[in-house]
């Protein structure tokens, strides 16, 4: 057990900040050193009253220059990730960055360049990997519970009607739903089935008609080992938020929802039959599990081990999402080009 207490600064006190703040307070090796936001309303004051940080700031550069800060959690709009993350890395801090790593491959590459140059850590918070249901599904697949994968599908269905972000930052031509939200489903399938090589996608625009991007996309992927896959992503659907997922293998099937309380596990018997009645595996509907994410990040720092979700992972997910958007725009298949390791 480490005796070191890491001073953590959280940049961005928006919707996702509360999950991070709860995670920092739950972590025995962390001190909530500072929170920062440049909004003009009382969001910093409200978080200060609730979480009791040692300091508050309105300009993140105060914390970049503060030698007491060890770790920065960057939870600001996607188009600010490069600037803020690079500044903290250059100042010798470790960074846990919200997903998506960035909106473009170029921004991801630049952050990775700074990470390498400085030797500091950059973990990308693809938090679906800490959702207990996704973790359980991954364990089952890895243990061979459904045989060899055949077809994998996941979805990101989330109505953004009231989720425009502070100052409408989500409502821009650059912030494609497939990158901002679809990255969760894409990242999960990459985690399960590896890096897809090719994508064919279609998209449409019928829900958020005042937004400058298509709101609904369907994408099919070629994964390694002859596995095929599909992602449905919509930021306009009229239903509660879900990432419904089906994983089909040669010897069984797993069906669940990200926020569901049980998972259906079909398994053939040793004669290859009798899969009619699925086992109902109990699940924990815990979506934004930043507590586990922060815990894993800190454990890796203390043990001197690689980041649980490295920057190449974050950048590869962005590469798949970008290729998906490109395919939908071009109306043809696109080969996926990954950043160099
Ligand atoms: N992991 C997840 O499931 C998940 C869910 C939602 C959002 N996110 C990601 O988290 C990030 C924040 O999203 P949100 O929903 O909390 O948005 P939000 O609009 O609710 O909050 C963003 C906050 O960042 C602040 N901010 C902007 N620029 C800043 C700067 N230069 N310095 C300090 N503060 C600044 C804004 O004032 C605002 O309070 C985004 O990258 C988003 O994609 C992740």
- In the chain the first and final C-alpha atoms are separated, in Å, by 32
- Verify whether ligand 1 is closer than 6 Å to residue 60 (CB atom): yes
Distance 273 CA to ligand 1 centre (A): 49
Predicted pLDDT at 269: 87
Domain ranges of the chain: 6-127+289-297, 129-287+319-335
- Verify whether ligand 1 is closer than 6 Å to residue 103 (CB atom): no
Which of 331, 336, 333 shows the shortest CA–CA distance to 321?
A: 336
C-alpha span between 235 and 242 (Å, rounded): 11
- Verify whether ligand 1 is closer than 6 Å to residue 42 (CB atom): no
- Verify whether ligand 1 is closer than 6 Å to residue 38 (CB atom): yes
Instruction: For ligand 1, atom 40, name the residue with the nearest CA.
Output: 77
Q: Is 187 exposed, middle or buried (0-12, 13-18, 19+ CB in 10 A)?
A: buried
Architecture of the domain whose range is 129-287+319-335? 2-Layer Sandwich (3.30)
Instruction: For ligand 1, atom 15, name the residue with the nearest CA.
Output: 15
Q: Which two tokens stand for residue 136?
A: 């359980």
State which H helix or E strand residue 201 sits in.
strand 198-204
C-alpha span between 174 and 154 (Å, rounded): 23
Runs of H (alpha helix) within 97-171 = 105-118, 132-142
Whether 65 contacts 39, CB under 8 Å = no
Low-confidence residues in the chain, pLDDT < 50: 1-2
Predicted pLDDT at 1: 45
CATH number of 6-127+289-297: 3.40.50.720
Distance 132 CA to ligand 1 centre (A): 24
**What's 129's DSSP letter?**
G
Distance 76 CA to ligand 1 centre (A): 3
Give the position of tokens 């969001």: 43
- Verify whether ligand 1 is closer than 6 Å to residue 172 (CB atom): no
Distance 248 CA to ligand 1 centre (A): 35
């Amino acid at each position: 057990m480490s005796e070191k207490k890491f001073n953590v600064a959280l940049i961005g006190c928006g919707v996702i900040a509360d999950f991070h703040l709860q995670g920092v307070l739950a972590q025995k090796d962390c001190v909530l050193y500072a929170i920062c936001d440049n909004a003009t309303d009382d969001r910093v004051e409200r978080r200060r009253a609730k979480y009791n940080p040692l300091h508050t700031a309105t300009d993140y550069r105060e914390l970049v220059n503060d030698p007491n800060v060890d770790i920065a959690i960057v939870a600001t709009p996607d188009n600010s990730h490069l600037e803020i993350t690079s500044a903290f890395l250059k100042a010798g801090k470790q960074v846990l960055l919200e997903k998506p790593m960035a909106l473009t491959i170029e921004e991801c590459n630049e952050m990775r360049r700074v990470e390498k140059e400085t030797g500091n850590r950059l973990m990308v918070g693809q938090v679906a990997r800490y959702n207990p249901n996704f973790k359980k599904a991954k364990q089952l697949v890895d243990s061979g519970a459904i045989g060899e994968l055949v077809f994998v599908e996941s979805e990101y269905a989330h109505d953004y009607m009231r989720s425009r972000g502070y100052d409408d930052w989500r409502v821009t031509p650059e912030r494609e739903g497939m990158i901002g939200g679809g990255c969760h489903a894409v990242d999960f399938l990459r985690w399960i089935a590896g890096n897809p090589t090719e994508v064919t996608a279609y998209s449409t625009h019928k829900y958020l008609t005042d937004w400058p991007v298509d709101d609904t996309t369907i994408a099919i992927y070629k994964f390694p080992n002859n596995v095929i896959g599909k992602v449905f992503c919509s930021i306009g659907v009229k239903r509660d938020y879900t990432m419904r997922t089906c994983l089909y293998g040669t010897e069984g099937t797993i069906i669940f929802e990200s926020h569901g309380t049980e998972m259906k596990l079909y398994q053939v018997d040793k004669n290859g039959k009798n899969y009619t009645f699925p086992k109902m595996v109990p699940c924990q509907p815990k979506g934004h599990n930043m507590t586990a994410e922060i815990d894993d990040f800190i454990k890796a720092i203390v043990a001197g081990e690689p980041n649980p979700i490295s920057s190449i992972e974050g950048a590869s997910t962005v590469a798949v999402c970008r290729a998906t958007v490109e395919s939908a725009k071009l109306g043809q298949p696109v080969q996926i080009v990954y950043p160099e390791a």
